[in-house]
Chains A and B, each alone.
Chain A
């Protein structure tokens, strides 16, 4: 079984999605923490590996890749036992890709510009950022109407990516019950996604950074 280097921060969704996907395809990761808070991502050694100096960054026998969703696709295509996580059929695959882009631009961006803002500024983002996140959840709720998974009839990397994004609700104050299809999908995804339990403590470790201090 190959061992790949993963430069990462344990908590963010993008990194957890890679860890869960690696588990799902049965690849071992040699995890190397890059402490972005301590600006380790700007170390020349790391910038040499990834000029965009973002985490997660994967190195597979000299081949360097970043952008979490591109990493998920790579792991599934290169190491998947079959094509269930990333189907070969162009139409099924296009649906997975659409959901992955949606995850980045609507869900992740919504969480980032509202909740993650707190970590950097001590304040949550503007109401329009929260509105954007709500719109993302409404859409996901629509995509999940009558569906068990976000893109087709089985677990794909789109579920894993969206699970890693949405699970931010564990550490912020967000009412998932308003989106019943999402809530139902989320409860199931936590059960069936390899690596969920393993990465949960890393997710929960974010909590103190995303909650206003009580006086």
Chain B
């Protein structure tokens, strides 16, 4: 499987961790987005939206990280794999968390944290309020269960782990959200591929410090 990615991108790292959890080998193809690799015609042919991550599995091209995660489990996981179980209600909760990650949690990373990385100025208070609200919600989701969508590790944990860990770039204080802090410590231990995820975060941190 060819995997077009960049180590700094959280959505790309979620795919790397999920592939690891499933024991899949990815043929890594690094994309230098700053220099416009994603606009090359051969890539636009694979993905007209020219976004990363993009996975090409024996000619089948798929993008949107969260669609890739569920694809990998459905195609290569065990029957009723705990990463994305077959039960309609269990997977509905996972899907809700994936959409929460995309539309709320990662979205506020993009609007509040990413500009801080680029411009090295603090985010407007109303943007940081959205971050606070998103983490409070995640904290509520984690009130009853050890994982974000029930009692075992799923693709929702992996997707949210990639997002949450990326907040460490700005030394974000998780202690205000005790359930999140506890989940995060555990997720780092139990998620296959965490080390590669962390390398990606360090990659951005170094990039920030050298610019």
Contacts and interface: CB of A to CB of B under 8 A. Distances in A.
Contacts, number: 81
Contacts of B102: 101, 104-105
Given A97-B67, A98-B64, A101-B66, A66 B103 contact: no
Interface stretch (A18-26, A38-46, A70-78, A201-209): A70-78
Contacts of A95: 62
B105 to A, nearest CB: 11
B165 interface: no
A42 B67 CA distance: 32
B96 A51 contact: no
A73 B62 contact: no
Contacts of B60: 91, 94
A67 B96 contact: yes
Contacts of A97: 64, 66-67, 70-71
Contacts of A101: 64, 66-67, 102
Given A70-B95, A98-B62, A78 B67 contact: no
A97 B63 CA distance: 10
Q: How many A residues are at the interface, by size bracket? A: 20 to 34
A72 to B, nearest CB: 9
B43 interface: no
A67 B64 contact: no
A143 B49 CA distance: 9
Contacts of A70: 92, 95-96, 98-99
Please provide the 9 A-B residue pairs with the shortest distance between their CB atoms, ordered closest to farther. A70-B95, A97-B67, A94-B71, A67-B99, A101-B64, A74-B92, A90-B75, A90-B74, A78-B88
